[in-house]
Structure 1
Amino acid sequence: MATSRAARVPTLIYGTAWKKGKTRDLVRQALVTGFRGVDTAAQPKHYREDLVGQGIGDAMKEVGIKRHDLYIQTKYTSVNGQDPSKMPYDATTSITEQVHASIASSLQHLDSTAERPEEVYIDCLVLHSPLPTQSQTREAWQAMESHVPKQVRSLGISNLYELPALMALYELASIKPAVIQNRFYRATGYDRDIRAFCRERGMIYQSFWTLTGNPDLLRSPSVRHVAAGLGVTAPVALYGLALSLEGISILDGTTDPGHMKADLDGVEAVQLWLRGSDQKQAAALTAFNALLE
């Protein structure tokens, strides 16, 4: 039994969904500003993976970033999540063949990120969501496993909110998931049980919808207190507090270059402050954790 390991997962990962024709320049700007992780998908319905690869290539040339400096994550999306008019594979083929074609498409899109052929790889390949049946999910996962470790370094799962289902996937997998990417919000109890499972097994929990799904947290006294005390925005304070939870990274999809820098700098400042040892930091963490109960 092998365990995939998503090494060097940055705390903030730039999310590229819904950026459309602006994707290339936004990805370039994010990396030039300081992001070192990029999340995309072979799902033309919501992502321009081709422009993601071009934007990464632009930033590498502009500021001298090397492939090994980056964490690049993409996804295999099943037929149910695709636009029938534009798919990265033939929907009439088997799930196994769809996975292989999806990965080939992603590698082609990421070709511009490498100086040598051996640098064309995916740091983490995520199953965008479980398929309708467990047997279909198993087939997709086994097809993904066949690309580790050469073309794909680690595997993950997204949009899986039932702990028993995650446990079942973990047990059946020959190569264990290294990442789970979920909406982090009240409706799922902030995935408390899933996050505990991830901590026990060294998996990274990737939070998305962190701001959009949590207006109450953004308005909470604990978040606003940290924001005011450190001179950062409430979104940055929320990011920093969420990252205080063990084994967490966050997808950040801002389209504002100013916010990109503010997020990176501000989150670092919040994390540094939270690592302090006086009562203010302990009180802030206790108050935030109470909001997640």
Structure 2
Amino acid sequence: MASASPFNSHSRLADDKPAFTYGTAWKKDQTKVLVKDAIKQGFRRVDTAAQPKHYQEHLVGEALREAYSEGTVSREGVYVQTKYTTPAGQDLNKMPYDPNAPLGTQIHTSVASSLKNLRPTQAEEGSYLDCLLLHSPLPTLEQTLQAWRLLETYVPHQIKALGISNVTLPVLREIYNTSTVKPSVVQNRFYAQTQYDSPLRAFCREHGIMYQSFWTLTGNPKLLKSKPVVELAQAAQVSVPTALYALVMDLGVEVLNGTTSAVHMQEDLEGIQKVRDWATSNPRQWIQAREGMCALVEPGHF
């Protein structure tokens, strides 16, 4: 057995932190139950948004407050991340701010609603967010930068870090180059149509930005059937989805997991640990699987 770690220096699979961020989109009335299940099973990172069209942020908050009060976890033990969503991404009949208000008012109202929804106790005093993302760039680059500057005023007290979702490399680079508070998180769809964001992920690694993937399973039916994934699943005796998750994590990616099954929550967390243990005991086979994955998603960069 090799003495050196078999993992890449940027591998999320090698981290001691909980393996996944729990994604709360499209959970509707089941949001509270599912978030509590996720926390109970061992998830310690939660992603939501001030976008009632797809998220029930207030139910996420209720679930977390109950988990805190029941002693399952402390507020400091959970990473809570939400988003400001522009009017274009909202249901105009049900949204957290007036879409006709100036941009500054929209953002301040949205942030206030998130701080209220996700407060750790019934009292709103002391509420904070570990990270707040722009759900997408705004219609123009100048508006995007204006929104970023507004969000910077909350850091580091009410918001600890900032990020952006659904972003391209040119926009991310401009935000990074012009901002005072640098982006800490990028959350994008990880799939073939964007060449798996390979140059963007390289930029993130270079600048210490965490790249988060969503639709990791849904968007990658070919990867699920690929040789590295299938062979890893067989060798480590885990499910094919778990094998894909593990190989994506080894690329330095933090994976959003939105399963609605408590059984799958437990299986996914235990499966990742199983792959970690197997990779440590079988470094040559693990490196082969990693190289096979890199050949598929980072051709020319491996």
TM-score range, shorter chain: over 0.9
Residues 58-90 of structure 1 show CA distances to partners (whole Å, capped at 9, x for unaligned) of: 222334310000000000001111110011011
TM-score by length of 1: 0.93
Query: 1:104: which partner in 2?
Result: 112
2:264 equivalent to 1:259:
yes
Amino acid at match of 2:86: S
Query: 2:49: which partner in 1?
Result: 41
Q: How many residues align?
A: 283
**What secondary structure, in the 3-state scheme, does the structure 2 residue paired with 1:213 have?**
coil
| Matches for 1:176-187 after TM superposition, within 5 Å | 176-187=182-193
Query: 1:210: which partner in 2?
Result: 216
Query: 2:5: which partner in 1?
Result: none
- RMSD across aligned positions (CA): 1.6
Between the aligned partners of 2:17 and 2:48, the Cα distance in structure 1 is: 14
Residues 185-210 of structure 1 show CA distances to partners (whole Å, capped at 9, x for unaligned) of: 00000000011000001110001110
Between the aligned partners of 2:81 and 2:98, the Cα distance in structure 1 is: 22
| Matches for 1:1-293 after TM superposition, within 5 Å | 10-111=18-119, 113-114=120-121, 119-160=126-167, 162-246=168-252, 248-276=253-281, 278-292=283-297, 293=299
Q: Give how far 1:222 is off.
A: 1.1
Amino acid at match of 2:192: R
Residues 210-232 of structure 1 show CA distances to partners (whole Å, capped at 9, x for unaligned) of: 00000001111210111111221
Q: Give how far 1:11 is off.
A: 3.5
CA contact (8 A) 1:17 1:46 kept: yes
- Percent identical: 49
CA contact (8 A) 1:67 1:114 kept: no
Higher relative contact order (CA 8 A, sep 6+): 2
Amino acid at match of 1:60: Y
Runs of 4+ in 1 over 4 A off after TM superposition: 115-119
Q: Give how far 1:144 is off.
A: 0.7
Distance 1:201 1:10, change over 3 A: farther
**What secondary structure, in the 3-state scheme, does the structure 2 residue paired with 1:205 have?**
strand
Query: 1:4: which partner in 2?
Result: none
Provide structure 1 residue ranges, at least 5 long, that are not aligned to the other structure.
Answer: 1-7
CA contact (8 A) 2:40 2:72 kept: no
**What secondary structure, in the 3-state scheme, does the structure 1 residue paired with 2:83 have?**
strand
TM-score by length of 2: 0.90
Q: Give how far 1:274 is off.
A: 2.9
Residues 8-36 of structure 1 show CA distances to partners (whole Å, capped at 9, x for unaligned) of: 98540000000000000000000011000
Between the aligned partners of 2:209 and 2:281, the Cα distance in structure 1 is: 26
Provide structure 2 residue ranges, at least 5 long, that are not aligned to the other structure.
Answer: 1-15
Comparing 51-60 with 250-259, greater Cα deviation is found at 51-60
Q: Give how far 1:182 is off.
A: 0.2
Distance 1:10 1:79, change over 3 A: farther
